[in-house]
Structure 1
Amino acid sequence: MIYRFRVILDNDTEEDVFRDLEIRESDSLEDLHNIITQSFGFDGTEMASFYISDEQWNQGEEISLFDLSDDGSARLMNETKLNDVVHEAQPKLIYIYDFLSMWTFYVELAEIVEEAESTDYPNLMYVHGQIPDTAPERSFEAEGGDDMFNEFEDDLDVNDYDNLDFDENWN
């Protein structure tokens, strides 16, 4: 069977940016990673991960391109078949490419079809919109809308070294 995916760039631009792709259900997540990077014009050399997602696009289990865990327990793209993580009941993934730039994409299974004899897979079916030169800015907010990096409201100026209570002989 062939999985048809719509891969949408998470951005706040006026124009939507997405690609429609076809890939065999038995291909790996690394194969999906490769067609996504190629279809959006990336060189594919940066770190990337897929995250299993629920209906509200909440980020779940990570499936990485490389194992960077201390104990070698990470789930890897090249060892994970598409039909093991994506199916009609679980049609959504989040894909992040280049963890410095944080290119974020929503990957959704649109339909499952029979394989066409005259088509090579994976297949780029449709292109809409141009990817911007830089990744869209991401805002990180905690639940309730508060900025997650301003958890402590202590009015300390961390750049005012003279007035910080710091014991330079602490060790």
Structure 2
Amino acid sequence: MIYRLRVLLDASVDCFRDIEIEDNATLEEFHNVIVQAFQLPGDEMASFYASDEEWNQGEEYCLFDMSGGMSTVKKMADTPMEKAMDKNKTRMIYIYDFLSLWTFSIELADIVSPTSGTAYPQVIFAVGELPDNAPDKEFEADPRFHDDNDENDYKEEEEFYDDESFDENDFY
């Protein structure tokens, strides 16, 4: 089967690609198609993340295992598209270059039969050009862990330590 996917850059300008890829292609192959379709350099780390209807970031599929065997890692090369996405799991997040954070939302639009004589994967529609720099990200603190009095807490700690006779150069 063929997956029809929309890959949308998280930016204020319209920039997306509609891609068709075989369901048995790996996430690494899909990563390579995205890199080529958006003309990214291709020399940076990247990961896919499972996502829900609210675009919450879930399970990671990484390009390389950097854990050193310390944890189990799902790699793109070992994961076929059909294991990461299906008609019930229709969204993923793709992050390219963890310093610049090029962030793309991916949505499964349709699953169709292959067309005879068509080479897959292929870009079937493109809108917009990639900006020169990754769009700025605004990160918000989770309100469950945010305390409006944090600044005052630090002042109280500083005042406490000011009263102590502590010499940071005296180790013994």
TM superposition score normalised by structure 2: 0.85
Distance 2:32 2:71 in 1: 23
Match of residue 75 from structure 1:
74
Match of residue 9 from structure 2:
9
User: Deviation per CA, 1:13-67, whole angstroms, max 9, x where unpaired?
Assistant: 2x31100000000000001100001100112110000000011100001110000
Q: 1:92 to 1:137 in 2, by over 3 A?
A: same
Moved more, 111-120 or 136-145: 136-145
Alignment of 1:81-100 (within 5 A): 81-100=80-99
1:127 aligns with 2:126: yes
Distance 2:98 2:153 in 1: 31
Match of residue 102 from structure 1:
101
Task: Kindly state the Cα deviation for residue 169 of structure 1 after the two structures are TM-superposed.
Answer: 1.3
Letter in 1 for 2:113: E
Match of residue 158 from structure 2:
none
Match of residue 50 from structure 1:
48
Distance 1:38 1:154 in 2: 50
Task: Kindly state the Cα deviation for residue 156 of structure 1 after the two structures are TM-superposed.
Answer: 6.6
Letter in 1 for 2:18: D
Match of residue 115 from structure 1:
114
Match of residue 142 from structure 1:
141
Distance 1:151 1:55 in 2: 34
- Count of residue pairs brought into register by the alignment: 161
Task: Kindly state the Cα deviation for residue 69 of structure 1 after the two structures are TM-superposed.
Answer: 1.1
Letter in 1 for 2:107: E
Moved more, 135-144 or 80-89: 135-144
Match of residue 31 from structure 1:
29
Task: Kindly state the Cα deviation for residue 151 of structure 1 after the two structures are TM-superposed.
Answer: 8.5
Letter in 1 for 2:88: A
Alignment of 1:159-170 (within 5 A): 167-169=167-169
Residue 150 of structure 2: SS of its match in structure 1? coil
* Bigger Rg, which one: 2
- Tell me how large the CA RMSD over aligned residues is: 2.3
More helix by share: 2
Task: Kindly state the Cα deviation for residue 138 of structure 1 after the two structures are TM-superposed.
Answer: 0.4
Match of residue 161 from structure 1:
none
Q: 1:43 to 1:152 in 2, by over 3 A?
A: same
Identity of aligned residues (%): 48
Structure 2 runs not aligned, ≥5 long: 156-160
